[in-house]
Structure formats: C-alpha cells, structure tokens
Chains A and B, each alone.
Chain A
Amino acid sequence: MTSRETKTTILTGTILEEEVVLSLGELCRASRLSAERVIEFAEEGVVEPIGGSPESWRFRGVNLRRIRCAQRLEEDLGVNTAGVALILDLLDEVEQLRARLGRIES
C-alpha cells in the first residue's frame, strides 16, 4: 500500500456503547483479562451478560467501559470487586440524577 492510499482511506468505526455486542472471548481480549476474572466481575454485577452460560454470553459494549473503569478503580483505590460494582452503580445513578436536575432547572 502506498502512503497516498493510506491517506485517502476513510475508516468507519462503530460506537462501542451503542452498536457493539461482544462475546466473552472478545471482552477478555479487549480488557486484557482472563475469562475467570471476567466471570468474577459478572458474578458481582460489574458486567451484565445476556444469555445462559459463559459460552453463549453476549455483552453490550457499555460493559467494556464498565470493566475498564473497574480495573482502574481496583488498581488505583484498592477497592474490591463488590465495592467496585457498588461504585459503578452509584456513578450511573449520579449521572441520571444530574440529567434529571438539568431538565428540572430548565
């Protein structure tokens, strides 16, 4: 491929949080975690799989964001997995409340 071609190629991406669905394997690769660790995150509610058994699990893209945030919180703040799940839920709630507050004030 010449450099000219690389310049004119336009890459089309997908929005992870809205359009992407990941299997357990894909989520492990993207988060660089072992399947055991992801299953543990699922048991504590950090991520929410759709489907019965780990082999058929599917994850909405937003779960990758949650799992990466969970890794950072564990590493940086020394929070355990259950604590991380609680923090993520509270952060979601704060975001919803802020959005509601914005609407009420208008």
Chain B
Amino acid sequence: MRYKDYYAVMGVERDAPQDEIKRAYRKLARKYHPDVSSEPDAETRFKELGEAYEVLKDPEKRTAYDRLGADWKAGQDFRPPPDWNEGFEFHGGEFTGAASEDFSDFFDSLFGRDIPGGGFKRSARPSFHARGEDTYAKILIDLEDAYSGRSRAVKLEHTEIGSDGRPSVKKRTLNVRIPKGVRQGQHIRLAAQGSPGFGEGEPGDLYLEVEFRPHRYYRVEGKDVFIDLPVAPWEAALGATVKVTTPSGKVDLRIPPNSANGRKLRLKDRGIPAKQPGDLFVVLNIALPKADNEAAKAAYAEFGRAFEFEPRADIGM
C-alpha cells in the first residue's frame, strides 16, 4: 500500500485553515470534474481529490491523518502503525457516500470498513415488497462493436451485503448485444438486470454507460470517426488510390493530386451508423522517407533542383 499525501493532492500547506481547504477543493473540483473537464486524466484526478477532501474537510479525520506525521512521502510504502488511532474518538463524520467505494486501500486502512466511526453509509433495507434499485456500470467496447451490433460478454462486479451484514464483491458475466450506432457516453438500458427486488418486487434496471476502448488509429468525436493516414509525398502530390481499413471494412480511397499535409477526406455516412449516420474522416499525414543512402540523397537533391520552392515565403523569411 502506498502513502497518499492528501495535502499535496489539494495543493495546500499542512497548516492550511479549514476554509482554505474548502476553497482549494471547489477550485480543483471545477477544474477536474469529469462532467465538465476536458483534461485527459480528469476522472482519476477527481477521485483522488474527493478522497483527499473527504479526510481534510473533517477536522477529526484530518487530525487522525496528521498524527501519522509529516515525514511520509507520497507513494512511499505504507502500513498504518498499530496504535495510530488508539483512544481517538470518531463521531462518524459524514461521508459523501456516493464515491466512497472508489477510495484507495490507503484510505480504507485508515478510515475503512472496520474502523469505528469510519462506517460506510448503508441504506436501510425496506421491509415490504419493493422494486429493486436501478444500477449503473461503465463498459469499454471496441468501436467496431458499435458498427456491427454484435454481442459481447460484459463482466460486472457489485457489492452485496451478506446476511452477516458485511459487504462482499459478487461477479457476474452478461452477454449483451451492443445496439448498432451506440455512441460514447450513451447508456444501454437492460430491463430487470439491476438489483433484485425485495419480497415480490420486481428487479431494477441496469444501465451500461458506453465508452470506446482507445484505438491506435481511430479517434471518435460524437458520430464522426477520424483516421490518421500516413501517405508518401508522391502519393499526396500526384494523387493515388490506397487501401484503408475502416471500422466497417476495407475501402479504396482516392487521394486527389496536390493534397496538402493534414487534408481531411470525408467518407460520407461511414462514421458510426444511425438513422443519421456520422462521417468518416481520413486525415492525410505526409511521411518523409529518410535520406539514409546515396540513392535516396541523390533523389532528394534532384527533387530540390526540379522546383523553385520557397517554403518560408508566406512568413517572409
């Protein structure tokens, strides 16, 4: 287990007053909130921030954390000293609840399940017949799945409270047909696959939030898909027909003569399929062969002599 420096995560000094911690949290939360942030690592940063704030906003947890001492470094191997919270009275400071499952082992070891006052909030079990809760999970799928509508095995984990009142992790695998045309951020609703109902109540629904697995060549923006295609200088200059692998199969792409680097070629309706399908954009990326032998050097020299080319004329150099 690694030590976490909550003060560093929040960018405040160890002696910062409570109101400064709150201001720092608000500021960073606006910056890294996954719903509004465009930072690539927003989700991870936001989780770390939530965990740090959970501890530092509560004077009792903060004092307990401070008692570990100031000599620890972030990432250092950590075991809580056996007596670190001895005789320390917690009043069960409020948990924000929602995100607490995501907190680190480090947090759990200090304030987790078995520590008095660190108890996680559990909703009381309804005694009558009641419909089960709707549940949510994120799934990673390949872009091609959204094109073909094929089915995929989806592995899910959820926490269940056993008869002894202790939480345990249950795993299950569902075979789900990915609806054709589904896009990043959309939800697939699976009726009656959520939490079981109580008594004779019906089970809730399961919502799967779709995320595309990052791909080496494809980028997705809404319904549109982008491919960066390396081309030789002569293909761009003279025009060519090249084979391109797209999520819906191979196509012969005609590159028009005199194409500049970065030119986007649009293949209409070959983006993510839907009633109004997206487009596929092939972005030309001119790759220069290396002049690493005599023949190549001679060819480049000949190339230069054939043009009166001033590449920096536009910028007056």
Contact = CB atoms under 8 A, between A and B. Distances in A.
B177 A12 contact: yes
B26 interface: yes
A11 B98 contact: no
A39 B174 CA distance: 35
A7 B66 CA distance: 50
Interface stretch (B1-9, B82-90, B202-210): B202-210
Q: How large is the interface on B (under 10, 10 to 19, 20 to 34, 35 or more residues)?
A: 35 or more
Interface of A: 7-18, 20, 29-30, 32, 61, 64-65, 69, 72-73, 75-78, 87, 91, 95, 98-99, 102, 105-106
A106 B266 contact: yes
Contact of B36 (A9, A10, A87): A87
A30 B134 contact: yes
Contacts of B193: 11
Contact of B187 (A10, A61, A78, A102): A61
B163 interface: no
Contacts, number: 90
A14 B188 CA distance: 5
B190 interface: yes
A11 B33 contact: no
Given A15-B186, A17-B187, A106 B175 contact: no
Nearest to A29: B134
Interface of B: 26, 29-30, 33, 35-36, 46, 50, 96, 98, 131, 133-134, 151, 173-177, 179, 181-182, 185-190, 193, 204-205, 207-208, 221-222, 224, 264, 266, 274, 281
A16 B186 contact: yes
A16 B131 contact: no
24 contacts: A7-B175, A10-B175, A11-B190, A13-B179, A14-B188, A15-B187, A15-B189, A16-B188, A17-B186, A18-B186, A29-B131, A29-B204, A32-B134, A61-B187, A64-B187, A64-B207, A69-B35, A72-B33, A76-B46, A77-B29, A87-B36, A95-B222, A99-B224, A102-B221
Contacts of A99: 221-222, 224
Contacts of A61: 187, 189
A11 B174 contact: yes
Given A15-B189, A64-B187, 17 more contacts: A10-B176, A11-B193, A15-B186, A29-B131, A61-B189, A65-B185, A72-B33, A73-B33, A73-B35, A76-B29, A76-B50, A77-B26, A87-B36, A91-B36, A99-B221, A102-B224, A106-B264
Nearest to A9: B175
Nearest to A79: B30
Main secondary structure of the interface of A (DSSP, over half): helix
Nearest to A69: B35
Contacts of A73: 33, 35-36
Contact of A13 (B30, B188, B224, B266): B188
Nearest to B275: A18
A16 B187 contact: yes
A11 B179 CA distance: 11
A91 B133 CA distance: 29
Contacts of A32: 133-134
Of B207, B222, B224, chain A has the most CB atoms within 10 Å of the CB of B207
A56 B30 CA distance: 37
B291 to A, nearest CB: 32
A53 B186 CA distance: 28
